[in-house]
Amino acid sequence: MTLPPQTPAARVIREASLGEAMPAVPGARKILIIDDEATIADTLAVIFSSSGYDARAVYSAEQALETLEAWRPDLAIIDVVLPGMNGIEFAIFLRASYPACQFLLFSGQPGTSGLLEDAKNKGHLFDILAKPLHPTFMLATVSEMLTPCQDEPKPTMLH
């Protein structure tokens, strides 16, 4: 099904597929999506943007490194199997260089256990979500990750 070019959904999909920046809600949480499958990365960017996030899609860890020079996300959604630097290597870099940025690893490849084992042997533990993931699950997971802990101490008021 093709959407008529004047509908808002068609504009959002067209902008995402052309790699144009999606308009962000002021103060929106920033999400960087890294997946070498452009359709997946772009679709996730549309889903998160339409849910009020400032989302950007890139197609390799190297592009993500370039993006980080000028734009700091609150969370990165990272495909594990990427050309060049893989997602686990990128997550290790992200954890060391940008500790305030959370990340979520996901993969549709069954062969990621070797990458996980290598990381574990180097002292890095990761959980990987299996593709495909339903968009509502992704949105709920990200929302939970970006919500401040409710157990933080609250200042007491003195009368």
Q: Give the pLDDT confidence score for residue 113 in this predicted structure.
A: 75
Q: How is 41-61 classified by DSSP, letter by letter?
A: HHHHHHHHHHTT-EEEEESSH
Q: Give the pLDDT confidence score for residue 1 in this predicted structure.
A: 40
Pairwise CA distance, residues 93 & 78, whole Å: 12
Q: What would the pLDDT profile of 5-55 be if each residue is shown by its tens digit?
A: 443 443 444 444 444 444 556 678 999 999 999 999 999 999 999 999 999
Pairwise CA distance, residues 112 & 36, whole Å: 15
Pairwise CA distance, residues 158 & 145, whole Å: 33
Residue type, 47: I
Question: Is the model more confident about 103 or about 157?
Answer: 103
| Contact yes or no for 124/102 (Cβ under 8 A) | no
Average pLDDT over residues 122-136: 83
Question: Is the model more confident about 116 or about 14?
Answer: 116
Is residue 153's pLDDT more than 80?
no
Q: What would the pLDDT profile of 51-109 be if each residue is shown by its tens digit?
A: 999 999 999 999 999 999 999 999 999 999 999 999 999 999 999 999 999 999 999 88
The pairs formed by 39-47 with CB atoms below 8 angstroms and a separation of 24 or more are: 40/79, 40/131, 42/13, 42/16, 42/17, 43/16, 44/77, 44/138, 45/16, 46/12, 46/13, 46/16, 46/22, 47/135, 47/138, 47/139
Q: Give the pLDDT confidence score for residue 54 in this predicted structure.
A: 97
Pairwise CA distance, residues 70 & 73, whole Å: 10
Pairwise CA distance, residues 124 & 91, whole Å: 10
The pLDDT-based confidence of 117 (bands split at 50, 70, 90) is confident
Q: How is 95-109 classified by DSSP, letter by letter?
A: HHH-TT-EEEEEES-
What's the whole-model pTM score? Answer: 0.75
Write down all domains in the chain, each with its CATH number in brackets: 8-144 (3.40.50.2300)
